[in-house]
Amino acid sequence: MILDKIIASTKIRVAKAKENLSPSGLLKALDKAELKAPNFKNGLMSIDDVSIIAEIKKASPSKGLIRGDFDIIAERFPYLEIASEYYRAGADAISVLTEPEYFKGNIEFVKDIKSKFSIPVLRKDFTVDEYQIYEAKLYGADAILLIMAALTDAEYKKFHALADSI
């Protein structure tokens, strides 16, 4: 099953991230960061009860490459252009795929989009470790995705409580 492969890959990626920046180092960086209060829920409270969450996604396991010119090309950031189009079109939030192997995402996309636009940003990844929740906060995400099929009930409750607390 593809979800199992993605989860296994994510666990390896998180372990490598912890080698580059230890959990304690990540927490220290969070303490020093000037973070904005999350506004995801308020951003989705529209007058007409319809909210649009637009998605930034370069690829998917089922479709393959969706857009090839997604990364930095000649000083351009196509994913920022996409975010700008969504923003101008009235999207209430932007969902950003950050899983690198299967979806070709990058956590930097969250940081870049959040720095340029005032609407809420959702980090869409396969959250399997508390580290990713702190990382999402450090990069400016207003919300995270928790995939129930990838978590035990205890993990979900723990991750949900942590996300709420920070």
Q: Of all residues in the chain, what percent carry a pLDDT higher than 90?
A: 63
Q: C-alpha angle with apex 73: 67 to 76, nearest 5 degrees? A: 95
- The stretch 28-43 carries a mean pLDDT of 78
Q: What is the mean pLDDT of residues 57-76?
A: 72
Task: Provide the sign of the torsion angle of the four alpha carbons 21, 68, 124, 12, taken in this order.
Answer: negative
Nearest to 41 by CA among 158, 142, 148: 142
Q: Which residue has the higher pLDDT, 83 or 46?
A: 83
Q: Does pLDDT of 118 surpass 50?
A: yes
Task: Please determine, for residue 71, whether its predicted confidence score (pLDDT) is greater than 80.
Answer: no
- Neighbouring C-beta atoms of residue 95, cutoff 10 Å: 18
**pLDDT higher than 80, residue 161:** yes
Mean pLDDT of 23-27: 94
Reading the block at residue 52, the tokens are 């649009």
Q: In the prediction, which pLDDT does 73 show?
A: 41
pLDDT at 152 over 90: yes
Q: State the pTM of this model.
A: 0.88
Lowest mean pLDDT among 54-58, 65-69, 141-145: 65-69
Provide mean pLDDT across the span 138-150. Answer: 95
The two tokens of residue 79 are: 């994913």
The chain-wide mean pLDDT, for the chain, equals 88
Separation of alpha carbons 71 and 62, rounded Å: 21
Lowest mean pLDDT among 1-10, 34-43, 116-125, 146-155: 34-43
